[in-house]
């Protein structure tokens, strides 16, 4: 058995819309399902689903929206909301809240219509297939409920935007338990392909109680939307440094980085194998946590040369940056701090990193204009009053 438990892409902003959609779904479940289930009134709950769920015989109706916020049970709700939690924050972060909401709603609508189309045409097609297999397709007429069509749309866009991102999968078989990172292009691609195959084999819009045709319809729209949006929101040639870790940028060329990247040259990346990438990241983290910083620094240039979708843990990255700073290596320290700020923008050490980047920019590289914003951030957010005073003094010195 396997189950997704998270991804490894940092989010640069708080996903308020993703959280809101999750909250609405949970609230509807609490107000509708829980009271009726507590009262043991299953018939009343079925009536709610019949009234507000989507009926494929009436493809244009308000129920196409209301059905997205109804769920059959706790497992149905939890599975959908957990997947939205994993992929929603990064897609929202990249395309913005308005586009994200439109993507979510339109994917849900088109997923329902894919269900309609399949339910209308599948019986005829199923008759041909069934004759060959000695079986007959069974037309399905039941209310469609759940957010999975809309969420598969978000997953499709995630697949296009972040194909090289790794989704952490919890694998277990009896007493064997292991967390394995799997590329998004493989795990999401397999899920979509699986539902497509199940739809074909079922010769109808659903396989059992799962509306597989709706999943495929939502995912196909999400993929198409991702292909359309990606070059318009910072992918490819107009990417930024953050994209190095998320699959947008395939190079460390200077034009993909923010202006301060002119501080020093980048190491030309190589294309490592998956096992090499995981091994070098784990080795660096292990050495830092064991206090063997010298060994970690020996490994770091090799890590730096790799195309990294998975960043180092924030606590590991910041310690390497501090060590470069202590050793008087400004270019290496600057690059290491920038990588920390890019991949852990809400980390506990962000104020300290901003202070030291400001010092490096102002003193080592004479870029006082760029240094100002970092020092101002350190003055306003550093938890240590003494460090706030140091940042203010450094800011005044550079202004003088």
pLDDT at 35: 92
- How far is the C-alpha of 61 from the C-alpha of 41, rounded, in Å? 27
- How far is the C-alpha of 64 from the C-alpha of 112, rounded, in Å? 7
pLDDT at 7: 83
| Mean pLDDT of all residues in 122-150 | 61
Q: What is the DSSP string of 17-83?
A: HHHHHHHHHHHHHHHHHHHHHHTT-HHHHHHHHHHHSBPTTS-SSTHHHHGGG--SSHHHHHHHHHH
pLDDT at 237 over 60: no
Between 26 and 267, the more confident residue is 26
CB atoms under 10 Å from CB of 168, counted, come to 16
Helix (H/G/I), strand (E/B), else coil: 336 = helix
pLDDT at 33: 93
Q: Where are the beta strands (DSSP E) in 107-158?
A: none
pLDDT at 344: 83
Least confident of 15-24, 156-165, 262-271, 338-347: 262-271
CA distances in angstroms from 112 to 21, 63, 398, listed in the order given: 18, 10, 60
pLDDT at 352: 92
Quickly state the pLDDT bin for 400 (edges 50, 70, 90): low
Q: Where are the beta strands (DSSP E) in the chain?
A: 2-7, 166-173, 176-183
pLDDT at 75: 92
DSSP H or E run through 90: helix 74-95
Nearest to 168 by CA among 82, 270, 243, 286: 82
| Mean pLDDT of all residues in 303-309 | 65
pLDDT at 10: 64
Q: Rg of the chain's alpha carbons, rounded to an integer?
A: 25
* pLDDT tens column, 67-124: 999 999 999 999 999 999 999 998 998 888 999 999 999 999 999 999 888 876 655 4
Quickly state the pLDDT bin for 192 (edges 50, 70, 90): very high
pLDDT at 64: 93
- How far is the C-alpha of 139 from the C-alpha of 204, rounded, in Å? 7
Nearest to 80 by CA among 141, 28, 11, 34: 28
- For 313, residues 6+ apart whose C-beta sits below 8 A from its C-beta are 285
Between 259 and 183, the more confident residue is 183
Quickly state the pLDDT bin for 309 (edges 50, 70, 90): low
pLDDT at 76: 93
CA distances in angstroms from 380 to 148, 197, 348, 368, 388, listed in the order given: 43, 55, 14, 18, 7
pLDDT at 150: 96
pLDDT at 366: 85
pLDDT at 254 over 70: no
Quickly state the pLDDT bin for 141 (edges 50, 70, 90): low
pLDDT at 269: 44
pLDDT at 208 over 70: yes
- How much of the chain exceeds pLDDT 90, in percent? 35
| Mean pLDDT of all residues in 386-399 | 87
What does the mean pLDDT of the chain come to?
Answer: 80
Q: Which residues of 303-319 are buried (b: 16+ CB within 10 A; e: fewer)?
A: bbbbbbbbbbbbebbbb
Quickly state the pLDDT bin for 218 (edges 50, 70, 90): very high
Burial of 275 (0-12, 13-18, 19+ CB in 10 A): exposed
pLDDT at 65 over 80: yes
* pLDDT tens column, 150-165: 999 999 999 988 887 7
């Amino acid at each position: 058995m396997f189950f997704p438990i998270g991804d490894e892409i940092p989010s640069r902003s708080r996903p308020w819309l993703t959280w809101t959609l999750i909250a609405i779904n949970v609230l509807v479940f609490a107000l509708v399902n829980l009271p009726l289930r507590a009262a043991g009134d299953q018939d009343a709950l079925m009536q709610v689903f019949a009234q507000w769920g989507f009926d494929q015989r009436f493809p244009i109706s308000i129920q196409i929206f209301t059905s997205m916020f109804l769920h059959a049970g706790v497992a149905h709700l939890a599975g959908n909301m957990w997947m939205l939690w994993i992929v929603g924050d990064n897609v929202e972060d990249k395309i913005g809240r308005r586009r994200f909401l439109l993507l979510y709603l339109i994917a849900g609508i088109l997923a329902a219509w894919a269900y309609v189309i399949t339910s209308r045409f599948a019986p005829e097609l199923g008759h041909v297939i069934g004759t060959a297999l000695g079986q007959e397709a069974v037309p399905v007429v039941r209310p469609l409920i759940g957010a999975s069509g809309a969420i598969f749309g978000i997953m499709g866009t995630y697949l296009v935007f972040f194909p090289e991102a790794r989704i952490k999968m919890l694998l277990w078989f009896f007493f064997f338990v292991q967390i394995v990172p799997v590329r998004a292009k493989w795990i999401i691609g397999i899920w979509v392909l699986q539902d497509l195959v199940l739809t074909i084999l079922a010769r109808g819009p659903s396989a059992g109680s799962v509306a597989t045709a709706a999943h495929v319809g939502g995912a196909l729209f999400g993929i198409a939307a991702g292909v359309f949006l990606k070059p318009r929101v910072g992918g490819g040639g107009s990417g930024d440094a953050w994209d190095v870790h998320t699959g947008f940028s395939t190079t460390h060329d200077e034009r993909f980085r923010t202006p301060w990247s002119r501080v020093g040259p980048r190491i030309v990346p190589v294309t490592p194998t998956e096992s090499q990438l995981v091994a070098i990241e784990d080795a660096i983290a292990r050495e830092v946590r064991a206090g063997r910083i010298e060994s970690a620094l020996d490994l770091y240039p090799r890590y730096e040369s790799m195309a990294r979708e998975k960043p180092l843990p924030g606590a590991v990255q910041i310690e390497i940056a501090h060590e470069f700073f202590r050793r008087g290596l400004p270019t290496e320290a600057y690059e290491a701090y920038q990588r920390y700020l890019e991949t852990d923008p809400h980390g506990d050490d962000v104020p300290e990193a901003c202070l030291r980047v400001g010092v490096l920019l102002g003193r080592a590289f004479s870029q006082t204009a760029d240094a100002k914003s970092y020092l101002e951030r350190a003055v306003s957010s550093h938890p240590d009053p003494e460090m706030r005073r140091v940042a203010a003094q450094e800011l005044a010195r550079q202004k003088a």
